[in-house]
Amino acid sequence: MKNLVKTVMILMAFLPSILTAQDKPNIILITIDDLRPELGVYGNTLIQTPQIDALSEHATTFNNAFCQVPVCGASRASMHTGVRPTPKRFTSAGTEIDHDLPNAVTIGQHFKENGYYTFSIGKVIHGKKDAVERTWTEYLPAESMFEYHDKALVEEATNPVAPYKRPQPYEVVVDSKDTDFLDGRSVKVAKERLAELKKKDQPFFMAVGIARPHLPFVAPKRFWDLYNENDIPMADNPYKPKNMPEMAKTTYGELRAYNSVPKKGDVPNDLAKKLKHGYYASVSFSDYLVGDLVAELKKQGLYENSIIVIWGDHGWQLGEHSFWAKHTNFDIALRVPLIIKPQKGKNMKAAKADGFAEIVDIFPTLCDLAGLEGPSQLQGQSLVPVLKDPNFSTKEYALSRWKQGDSIRTKGFRYTAFKNKKGVLIAEMMYDLSNDPEENKNIVEDATYKGEVEKHRKLLDKALKEYSLI
């Protein structure tokens, strides 16, 4: 009898930990390249994104989420470590965590070390060999995102016409199936893995990278056909902001590398229309694939106990200020979509939050939701309080930087300070977003705003010192 009682007591002692392990939420992290908040849930009534919009009915949509640096490699390194960029860390498209911050614990590594099976497919961390072994239990490298289907374009991609490096910046693909596209293949594999991961004796962390709407805008014809090109509105501010410092501009070399795009000057209107059409078609294709993956989660009975995060690595200019692509300190290049669906029992109702969120907040938020303590390096804050109450705000500003410019976004303003290599202030810009949401007039020299400018100078300086970013 004593032995029986002892056995029962031992089992009871272990039962809570066993149940905890079984009940750990699975995590699906979906990274979409170059996706700005151009979605139905963000108020765009023309673009067709029914799948992400449907997911948002069980999620919190962050209306004011900002990346820390507007370029893919650096932004992803910042998100996957929860660490902010500096003038010497996380600065470029080719940023590697192993080079810039080799001792940092990555988000996948942290969950792996805490009992999760971690799986990556598609472009998740930018570098194909960056932090792989310590981060992922299973890793499938991303395919090249510069895909074409027309034979002539494929040949042109191999032998580009001088002075261009790449063929056309878009392609309408006729008579295709999903797996003819790299994103379709990635999602197909992810769906297959879900059935396998469901059988494992551990929770999983699945990271899926979707390339579109990254250039080139390659999508099946059925998604191009969703739109009448003439119905898609072009930017109503295709001009440089008044009093904008020269160093604030971008020459958008990423787009100019393609045939048909002029090497200098503005993009012709007809081409601009085609590019925006291609961007919309690519977004709708990616939305469809997100829906395909979510449907498989539901089919496998994994949806309710899974945390799903959809985020874009940075914004993307579509002719605003005459700029294209990313690489600026303007809102349009820094604001990103961020949608978080928690697991069952954690308030899965539709909500929109207007308080600030930053991409460095994703790491601590997922730790919080999964009941894990985060590593000491984290410089973001958990957004779980916002998931519980969308009216709650965790911070008064968002910080970003690009090249020589450090930028702070507050409720009514964006202020950017440009400094030389010695840290000396050489230019500034500030925009009154309440009266000028498109940032068309730099008001840093306007006497009316003298107090606000000085306030933001001090606030930015304080924030940079607080996080040791100078």
Q: Is the pLDDT of residue 22 over 70?
A: no
Q: What stretches of 144-303 show up as alpha helix (H) in DSSP?
A: 151-158, 182-197, 221-224, 253-256, 269-299
Mean pLDDT of 108-137: 97
Percentage with pLDDT > 90 across the chain: 92
What tens digit of pLDDT does each residue of 221-265 get? 999 999 999 999 999 999 999 999 999 999 999 999 999 999 999
Q: Is the pLDDT of residue 4 over 60?
A: no
CB 217, CB 261: distance < 8 Å: no
Amino acid present at 445: E
For this structure, is 67 an active site residue? no
Q: What angle do CA 16, 19, 22 make, to 5 degrees?
A: 150
Residue of 72, 277, 314, 367 marked active site: 72
Tokens of 447: 């006497």
Q: Is the pLDDT of residue 13 over 60?
A: no
Q: Is the pLDDT of residue 2 over 50?
A: no
Give the DSSP H or E segment for 14. helix 2-23
What tens digit of pLDDT does each residue of 460-469 get? 999 999 999 9
C-alpha span between 367 and 392 (Å, rounded): 19
The reported pLDDT for the residue numbered 8 is 39
What tens digit of pLDDT does each residue of 341-378 get? 999 888 778 999 999 999 999 999 999 999 999 999 99
Q: Is the pLDDT of residue 18 over 60?
A: no
C-alpha span between 398 and 407 (Å, rounded): 8
Residue 5's pLDDT band, with cuts at 50, 70 and 90, is very low
The reported pLDDT for the residue numbered 348 is 79
Mean pLDDT of 161-181: 95
Under 8 Å CB-to-CB from 438, ≥6 apart: which residues? 236, 237, 320
Residue 9's pLDDT band, with cuts at 50, 70 and 90, is very low
C-alpha span between 414 and 330 (Å, rounded): 8
Q: Which residue has the tokens 């579109």?
A: 212
The reported pLDDT for the residue numbered 347 is 78
10 against 132, higher pLDDT:
132
C-alpha span between 282 and 75 (Å, rounded): 21
Residue 20's pLDDT band, with cuts at 50, 70 and 90, is very low
The reported pLDDT for the residue numbered 417 is 98
CB 93, CB 126: distance < 8 Å: yes
- Please, which residues bridge with residue 89 across strands? 86
What tens digit of pLDDT does each residue of 309-343 get? 999 999 999 999 999 999 999 999 999 999 999 99
C-alpha span between 379 and 381 (Å, rounded): 7
For the chain, give the mean pLDDT: 94
The reported pLDDT for the residue numbered 238 is 97
The reported pLDDT for the residue numbered 6 is 43
Residue of 58, 80, 126, 277 marked active site: 126
Name which of 17-26, 63-72, 283-292, 365-374 the model is least confident about: 17-26
CB 242, CB 441: distance < 8 Å: yes
What tens digit of pLDDT does each residue of 179-192 get? 999 999 999 999 99
Integer Rg of the chain from CA: 23
For this structure, is 72 an active site residue? yes
What tens digit of pLDDT does each residue of 415-463 get? 999 999 999 999 999 999 999 999 999 999 999 999 999 999 999 999 9
- Whole-model pTM: value is 0.94
Angle, helices 182-197 vs 269-299, to 10°: value is 20
